[in-house]
Amino acid sequence: MKCGGTFPYYYSENISLAEAKAKAVENAVIMALADQFGTTVTSQSLMEIADANERFAQMSRLQVKGTLVRHIHKPKISDPVYSDNTFAIEVTVEFYARELKYAPVEYSAKALRNGKEDKFESNTFVAGDKFYMSFVSPKEGYLAVFFEDRETASCMLPYVGDDNEPFHVEKDKRYLLFDVTNNTYHLSCGEEPEINYVHIIFSPYKFIDRDLTREMTCAKFRDWLGTRQSYDEDIQVESIMIRVNPARD
């Protein structure tokens, strides 16, 4: 199926034009796929979007229900226009794509702030807070968790030291994750609030292998996940948005 369109991209002078063009093309593809096939974005997540550029940042980190097969034409990128301390470029893409069908999420995963019981569930943290997660599945299977910021996706589960073996979960058993020696987490951010994502991946079948990379770029992570979704129709994925605010004295 053909997909495409023209999409704006906004960036600051802190990144190079080459980097901006690469991100602009990536986001244009994602937005075209989202327009054609839809996304897994929730209404709660959409309420966090302040402007067009935030929408791109949001969409680039959540699942779209399609994948690029190949470009029909090389993406066309306009010259940058500068206004109000922001650069803007437009990208036109045209490519072939196919739809991805995702299995419905049946498990329950909760992000927990500074506590180990479900009553501590929260999507908003303060720098320095402890991060835990509870998980329960109605099916036996295997679990992985990745933490994604603006640049990278890092594997939190399987735990460090278990790279070659997926994390096995039993049916109807509650797991408290990240309460293990050398595998605990305190969230952090810079001077401004940050939006991050925790991706929870479950399947009745093993999907972690010896090729697991502990840290990937966001684009490589999506490729890694998309490959597994393409051959495992039972894989379930949920993306939880996590806002981290700076600590205030």
pLDDT digits (tens, 9 = 90+) for 200-214: 999 999 988 777 888
Closest-CA residue to 111 (of 185, 182, 219, 204):
185
Extract the tokens encoding 195. 């939006």
Biggest CA pair distance of the chain: 55
Please report the sign of the dihedral spanned by the C-alpha atoms of residue 242, residue 246, residue 247, residue 249.
negative
Closest-CA residue to 3 (of 26, 46, 34):
34
CB 107 within 8 A of CB 204: no
Question: What is the predicted pLDDT for the residue at 249?
Answer: 62
Strands 81-83 and 86-99: antiparallel
Residues with Cβ < 8 Å from 186, sequence gap 6 or more? 128, 129, 130, 131
Closest-CA residue to 199 (of 143, 136, 126):
143
Q: Which residue has the higher pLDDT, 62 or 132?
A: 132
Would the pLDDT of 173 be above 90? yes
pLDDT tens-digit profile of 99-110? Answer: 877 778 899 999
Other C-beta atoms within 10 Å of 182: how many? 7
Question: What is the predicted pLDDT for the residue at 218?
Answer: 85
User: pTM for the whole thing?
Assistant: 0.69
Extract the tokens encoding 142. 């295997």
Q: Enter the DSSP assignment of 55.
A: H
Complete DSSP assignment for 83-133? ETTEEEEEEEEEEEEEE--PPPP-SEEEEEES-SSGGGB-SEEETT-EEEE
CB 49 within 8 A of CB 58: yes
Would the pLDDT of 44 be above 70? no
CA 95, distance to chain mean position in Å, is: 23
Is the peptide bond prior to 193 cis by the omega test (within 30 degrees of 0)? Answer: no
Query: Per-residue confidence at 15, pLDDT binned at 50, 70, 90?
Result: confident
The angle subtended at Cα 112 by Cα 110 and Cα 117, nearest 5°, is 90
Q: Which amino acid is at 48?
A: E
